[in-house]
Every structure is written in C-alpha cells, then in structure tokens.
C-alpha cells in the first residue's frame, strides 16, 4: 500500500508567487503612470521656458537676459514635485525661418536672432536630477531621466481687437447693471424719460465708465506691443447689435463695424497703426453706446479682417475678443469659433465684470486661445499686457 503524497504548503507557495506577480504589475502600472505625468510636466515646463525666452529676446534685445528669463519660467513649473531647473548651456539662440512647404526650421546662431531652443534634460550632468520612482527596487530601476526639446520663435503677427461697445459699456466698474458713474461731464440735456435714459442716451463717462477703463487697457496693450520684435499689425472691430437711437438724431448703430482696417505689410508703420486704433477708441467716448450683445457678429467681422486682402498667409493671426456681457443675440459663438479654428486664427477671450462666461470659455478653447475673467481694472490691464507680450511668440516644435 502506497503512502499518500504529502503536498502541505503547495498552495501557500502559489499564493506567494501570485502576490509577487500582482505587486510587480501594480508597481509597473503606478510607476508607468507617474512617468507619463512627469513627461507631461516636463513638456509644459520646457514649452513655457522656450516661449518666455523667445519673448524676452525680442523685448530685451539681450541674449543673457533672455536665457535668464527662460530659466526663471522653467523654475516656475514643477517636474516630479520639484521646480524644474535648466542651465545656460541647455539654451540655444538662433533664428526660425519658414520654408516654402510651411514648416519652421531652427537655424542655430542664425542672425538676427529671433528664437530660443530649450534642451530640457534630467539626470547625469543636467541641472535637474533624475526622477525617483515609487517602486524602483521592485523593478530594478530606481530613477528615470526624461528629456524634451522645445523651440519658440517670433513671427509676423496680425491682430484684431474685437471690442464690445454695447450699452452696458456706459456702466461703472461696480459690476451692477444700470449703475452709471456720477458727475459725467458729457450727460445729454434730454431728461424727459428719467435717470436711466438720461445716462443711456449720453456718451460714456470719460474716466470711470467701462469703455474708458477699456480704452486705458488698450493703450497699455500698444505700449507693450511696441516692445515686441516684430511689432504686430493691428486692426479694430467694435460690435453690439443693430439698434436705432430712440430720439433725434435717431442714429443707427450697426451690429459690427471695422473701425480700423488691417494695414498691408508694405504700408505698415506701427506708430501710425497704433494711433489710428487709439483715436478710433477715443472717438467713441464722445458718442452714446447702444445695443445688445451679438458676440458672433463681432467675431465674424474680425475673422473677415484677418482673412482679407491685407492679410499674409504665413502670419500668425490673433483675435482678442472682449465683452462685459453674456451672449444674447445672433448665432451661437461656438459655431463661429470653429470657423476661426479652421482658418488657423487664435481667439483670446476676456470677460469683463461677468461672473460666469461658459460660452466665452468654449470659444477660447476651440480657437486655441486663452480665457481671462476680469472683475477689476488691474486685472483687465494685466490681461491685455500679457497678451501683448505673447503675441509674436510661437512654438515651432
């Protein structure tokens, strides 16, 4: 008679083997996901550094200062939980030129310099140490050392300021409807319809109205744009809705208007172009403002300007769309945003004194732009200043 084979402990061995497999798979999954996150962080930090360096190169006209600005912007972004560090020798200065096929090439040490290439590295002799992994001992590799390269340059820019001139631009900066700045020296003599119409049929307050505050921000925009290289060619579109003034002289207000056309490259002079737009903006401070918020009418008009006769096919095209109200007339602006995107036009959106602007955020997202929510004059000015600085900067790879 055979004795039974004793298999005591066999199941425990199998369980231990399976646990080891599960732990290894979990380690691989967690560390792989973490590696992907770090690569994304590295790409964002590198792109930011390249754009900041290219912008500073044109603004400061100094290679060392531009490199320092790139290093500063890189450190403002975290990679693997640490501020990202790059060194001077990780930064190349050169020139980006567009080939006949439309692609951009970076020419190292090309002159005049208009671009920066950032060679982001980790580990080894790089300024940034390797990134530690959570389960390095399990996988036999305790760190990994990703790298990334980004190049940003500056190019010819065409910009259209697309500004809301609806009746609410007469209001003050409190954010309240029908709250007009007091002591308006331009109040009309018509008082028969009460206080609201007395203000509404008058030009905006020259200092404290929303339009006056916007005019100041536009002036700052051009002060910053003047420091760019190259300086942008600019146009102005204002919009509201079709509306007829209910008293004499019964002026018809059009839903959109090209106040200043885009200058051609051959006739472009930045100072002249700037002054034309500032004069057009100032001219509206002596006229009443009326109508609703047909945002799409303004955006459609702005697109037509940037696709018009004076537009260059290889230029970077940017619309800066500002409104102090919610879209309430015309076609859905999201549809028009898709048209801009398909035409290669970037649309940056600024909401002024509005709590929620979901539609405006969608427009910016679809058209690869930025969205700014501003409730104070200082925020509005900061948005225009930032956009002016970033206009001529483009990532080329």
Nearest to 392 by CA among 58, 29, 46: 58
pLDDT digits (tens, 9 = 90+) for 46-85: 999 999 998 888 778 789 999 999 999 999 999 999 999 9
pLDDT digits (tens, 9 = 90+) for 281-293: 999 988 888 888 8
Give the pLDDT band (50/70/90) at residue 328: confident
Arithmetic mean of pLDDT, 368-378: 90
Distance CA 191, CA 353 (A): 28
Residue 163 pLDDT > 90: yes
Arithmetic mean of pLDDT, 336-348: 91
> 330: phi > 0 → left, psi -120 to 50 → alpha, else beta; which?
left
Give the pLDDT band (50/70/90) at residue 34: confident
Amino acid 18: pLDDT: 64
- Alpha helices (runs of H) in 226-332, residue ranges in sequence order: 270-283, 295-306
Give the contacts of 213 (CB within 8 A, at least 6 positions apart). 173, 377, 380
Residue 339 pLDDT > 90: yes
Residue 12 pLDDT > 80: no
Q: What share of the chain in percent tops pLDDT 70?
A: 88
Calculate the CA dihedral of residues 362, 363, 368, 369 and round it to 10 degrees.
-100
Q: What are phi and psi of 89, to 5 degrees?
A: -80, 0
The CB-based long-range contact list for 94-97 (8 Å cut-off, 24+ gap) reads 95/153, 96/151, 96/153, 96/154, 96/155, 96/396
Calculate the CA dihedral of residues 345, 346, 351, 357 and round it to 10 degrees.
90
Amino acid 16: pLDDT: 66
**263, 310 Cβ separation under 8 angstroms:** yes
Largest CA distance in the chain: 123
Amino acid 49: pLDDT: 94
> 187: phi > 0 → left, psi -120 to 50 → alpha, else beta; which?
beta
Calculate the average pLDDT of the chain. Answer: 87
Instruction: For residue 112, say if its preceding peptide bond is cis, omega within 30 degrees of 0.
Output: yes
Residue 312 pLDDT > 90: no
Q: What share of the chain in percent tops pLDDT 90?
A: 49
3-class SS of residue 275: helix
Residue 305 pLDDT > 80: yes
Q: What are phi and psi of 170, to 5 degrees?
A: -80, -20
Which pairing describes strands 252-253 and 243-244: parallel, antiparallel, or unpaired? antiparallel
Element (H, E) at 346: strand 345-352
Range from 15-24, 105-114, 211-220 carrying the lowest mean pLDDT: 15-24
Amino acid 118: pLDDT: 96
pLDDT digits (tens, 9 = 90+) for 223-236: 999 987 778 999 99
Arithmetic mean of pLDDT, 343-347: 90
In three state form, how does the secondary structure of 300-319 look? Answer: HHHHHHHCCCCCCCCCEEEE
Strand ranges across the sheet with 393-395: 104-108, 91-98, 115-120, 148-154, 393-395
Give the contacts of 53 (CB within 8 A, at least 6 positions apart). 66, 67, 69, 70, 73, 91, 116, 118, 152
**112, 86 Cβ separation under 8 angstroms:** no
Amino acid 207: pLDDT: 93
Amino acid 201: pLDDT: 87
Distance CA 347, CA 340 (A): 8
Cα–Cα distance list, 300 to 45, 73, 352, 367 (Å)? 35, 35, 20, 13
Distance CA 226, CA 108 (A): 27
Handedness of CA 305, 307, 313, 316 (dihedral sign): positive
Element (H, E) at 153: strand 148-154
- Domains located in the chain, CATH noted: 10-151 (no CATH), 157-395 (3.40.50.410)
Amino acid 71: pLDDT: 96
Q: Name which residue leads in pLDDT, 247 or 322.
A: 322
Range from 50-59, 65-74, 317-326, 334-343 carrying the lowest mean pLDDT: 50-59
Entry field: residues in the chain: 397
Residue 117 pLDDT > 60: yes
Range from 276-280, 297-301, 309-313 carrying the lowest mean pLDDT: 309-313
- Half-sphere exposure (Cβ direction) of 321: Cα atoms closer than 13 Å: 37
Distance CA 363, CA 358 (A): 9
Instruction: For residue 230, say if its preceding peptide bond is cis, omega within 30 degrees of 0.
Output: yes
């Amino acid at each position: 008679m055979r004795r039974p084979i004793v298999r005591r402990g066999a199941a425990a061995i199998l369980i231990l083997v399976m646990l080891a497999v599960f732990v290894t798979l979990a380690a691989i999954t967690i560390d792989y996901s973490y590696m992907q996150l770090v690569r994304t962080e590295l790409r964002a930090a590198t792109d930011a550094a390249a754009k900041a360096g290219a912008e500073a190169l044109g603004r400061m006209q100094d290679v060392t200062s531009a490199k320092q600005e790139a290093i500063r912007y890189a450190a403002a972004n975290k990679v693997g939980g640490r501020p990202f560090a790059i060194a001077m020798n990780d930064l190349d200065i050169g020139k980006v030129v567009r080939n006949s096929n439309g692609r951009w090439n970076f020419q190292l040490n090309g002159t005049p310099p208009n671009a920066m290439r950032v060679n982001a590295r980790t580990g080894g002799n790089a300024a940034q140490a390797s990134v530690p992994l959570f389960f390095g001992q399990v996988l036999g590799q305790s760190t990994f050392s990703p790298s990334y390269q980004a190049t940003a340059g500056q190019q010819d820019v065409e910009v259209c300021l697309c500004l809301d001139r609806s009746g609410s631009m007469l209001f003050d900066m409190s954010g309240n409807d029908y709250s007009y700045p007091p002591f308006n020296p331009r109040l009309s003599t018509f008082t028969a319809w009460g206080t609201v119409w007395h203000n509404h049929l008058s030009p905006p307050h020259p200092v404290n109205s929303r339009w006056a505050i916007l005019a100041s921000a536009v002036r700052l925009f051009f002060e910053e744009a003047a420091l760019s290289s190259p300086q942008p060619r600019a146009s102005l579109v204002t919009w509201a809705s079709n509306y007829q003034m209910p008293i004499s002289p019964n002026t018809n207000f059009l839903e959109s208007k090209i106040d200043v056309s885009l200058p051609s490259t051959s006739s472009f002079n930045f100072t002249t172009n700037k002054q034309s737009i500032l004069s057009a903006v100032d001219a509206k401070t002596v006229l009443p403002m009326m109508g609703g918020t047909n945002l799409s009418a303004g955006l459609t008009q702005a697109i037509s300007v940037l696709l018009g006769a004076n537009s260059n096919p290889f230029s970077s095209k940017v619309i800066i769309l500002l409104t102090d109200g919610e879209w309430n007339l015309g076609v859905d602006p999201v549809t028009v945003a898709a048209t801009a995107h398909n035409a290669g036009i970037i649309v940056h959106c600024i909401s002024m004194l509005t709590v929620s602007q979901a539609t405006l955020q969608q427009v910016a997202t679809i058209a690869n732009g930025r969205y700014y929510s501003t409730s104070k004059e200082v925020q509005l000015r900061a948005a225009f200043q930032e956009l002016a600085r970033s206009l001529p900067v483009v990532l080329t790879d």
